[in-house]
Structures are given as structure tokens and as C-alpha cells.
Amino acid sequence: MVVISATRDYRSNEKTESFFALDSFQVRMSRKGTPYLTLNLLDHQKKVIGFIWRRPRETAESLSEGSVVKVRGEWKQLSRVTILAVDNVETVGSAVVDMEVANGSINEWRHRLISALEPIKAPPLVELVRAFLRDESFMEKFCDAPGGTSIHHNYRGGLLEHTVNTLELAYHIGSQYGKLLNMDILLVGCFLHDIGKIREMFSDVRKGYTEEGKLIGHIFIGVDILDKKMNELDGFSEDIRMVLKHMILSHHATPDFSSHRKPATPEAILLNLIESMDAKINRVFSVLKESGPNGWTRYDKYLRTEICQKDFLGV
């Protein structure tokens, strides 16, 4: 089995031989009119740019997008960006790719999901959660899906990890506020808020957006999935239907982030704060894995900052 794992921290002029997913490639021309080949390579956490200067056209003819490739080359600094100067690239035939979950196995996260949903007590919501958990097709997609294509939890099982983190944080934080919140509504909303991502994105060797994902997006897809599941069951008042749909529709808070309503219930407001926090923390960990100059990471567009990597306590 070919395993595509995260490329570790690398040093300039260090040689490497690694497996990547080949996202795309293109023959380009330098300012001097010399052809070269660019490779957009993916491990399960980030993108790597590779360059081939020898026989670029012949090499391009042997490649196909979406394949697994074995790359041999050397890390280089190019205009403050780390790139991979490729000596050789070859397609790996009929490979099985294991895009690993970064922080544990999918089975571990699945068990944590079930535990995190146990505090729910209201009979119609218990039955709704059980209906999703019994749906083998849904659960297979839900546990396997990434949480995103690039910004956060962008690896196999990332959606499951993000959902479990959101649920566990919601329970601990929500418990501090007593009767202000309905814990059952909060937990079910946390469970369901991103379920539309199982149809919004695809993830095999590459990650990307489906046609439905591009045209509709995971928020409306999630409402559709929820609506169909509730229609299979009895006991849902219009109020319950409405408040759960609101949790999905508002969890990104603003139209700039694809939400179509601002959070307008205590549970929806807390969901927005918690899931956004988990996404940002995951992004921080991802950025920190890449060493930068002088003890600082590179500037990150999503976080809108560099991050200091210095250990001030010297531990």
C-alpha cells in the first residue's frame, strides 16, 4: 500500500523521495523562452510546488492529473518560497492511497462521536440522531470526508474530527450556562452543522468540489439532508424543524462566509463561536508545522497573521 503522509519539515538542499497526489501540471515558458514543467503536488495536509527543467514536455506526456506519483528531488528556496526541484517523477500504477487522519484513527473519532451524542435526552432528537448513526451510507461518507479542501481539517476524517471537537467543546462550554441554552438542540446542531460537506466535496487522491457543491454549497445541502431524514421519522414539530435548520443555515454567521442568516438563537450563536474556534485552532497547528525564518511562520491569509514559534519559557 502506498501511503501519502505529511511531508515533514525540510531544509534547503535536502534530498527527498516521497509519494504525492498529482493535482495538476503544466508546461510553461521562462522569460528566456525555455520550457519547464510545474507540478502541483499534495500530501494529506498541504500543497507542494515542484519544478522540472529537464525534458519537461516528454515528462508531461507520461503524467495524468489525479494520479499518485513517486517524486525524487531536492528542496530549494525560490524567492522565499520552498519548492521541490524534481529530478524524476513516475506514476505509481494501481496504488491504494491512505490519506491518514492526522490526530488518530477514524474508529477512535467515531467512538468519540457516539459518546458525545449520548447526553441528548429529548425523544424526537434521540431518534433523529440514531437514524443518522444507523444510516450506513451516510456514516461511511461522513467519517471519511475531509472538513475542507485547504483551510482547515483538510484530510480524510477531518469532517468527523471537526464535528467531534465541536460537540465536546459545546457540551463543556454549554454546561456553564445552565438554563440559557437547550443542550439537546445545541448538541444536535453541532452534529448536523456540516453534514452537507459529504456531498459538497470529493476526496480520493485529490480533494475538490463536486458540481452540487459549487452550485449549491454545503449549507443548503445540509438542510436538504436534514429535511429528508426528518420526513422519514415522526414527532417533529415545525418549531424543532425550524430551529435545527437555522443552526445549519447560520453557523458561518455572515454572508461573506456563505451563511444566509445570522445566528439568532443562543444555541446557534454558541455553535458559530465554537466551530469557528476549532477551525482556526486546526489552522494554527497546520501553519506551525512549517518552520519559518527567525522563529516566525509565514504569513497566513486565513489567520491574517504570522505566528511566533519561540518557546518563551525555554521548556
CA angle 85, 90, 95 (to 5 degrees): 125
Terminal-to-terminal C-alpha distance of the chain:
39
* Residue 8: Cβ-neighbour burial (10 angstroms; 0-12, 13-18, 19+): exposed
DSSP 304: T
The whole-number mean pLDDT for each consecutive block of 10 residues of the chain, a chain of 315 residues, reads 55 81 90 92 77 93 88 82 88 60 81 97 97 97 90 88 97 90 97 97 80 95 97 91 96 75 95 96 86 79 88 72
Contact residues for 244 (Cβ-Cβ < 8 A; gap 6+): 185, 188, 189, 192, 226, 230
CATH number corresponding to 15-91: 2.40.50.140
Contact residues for 294 (Cβ-Cβ < 8 A; gap 6+): none
CATH 1.20.1250 fits 106-286, yes or no: no
Q: H-helix or E-strand containing 241?
A: helix 238-250
Residue 201 is predicted with a pLDDT of 92
Residue 294 is predicted with a pLDDT of 78
Contact residues for 94 (Cβ-Cβ < 8 A; gap 6+): none
Of 298, 258, 289, 288, the residue nearest 276 (C-alpha)? 258
Residue 235 is predicted with a pLDDT of 82
Q: Where are the domains of the chain?
A: 15-91, 106-286
Residue 260 is predicted with a pLDDT of 77
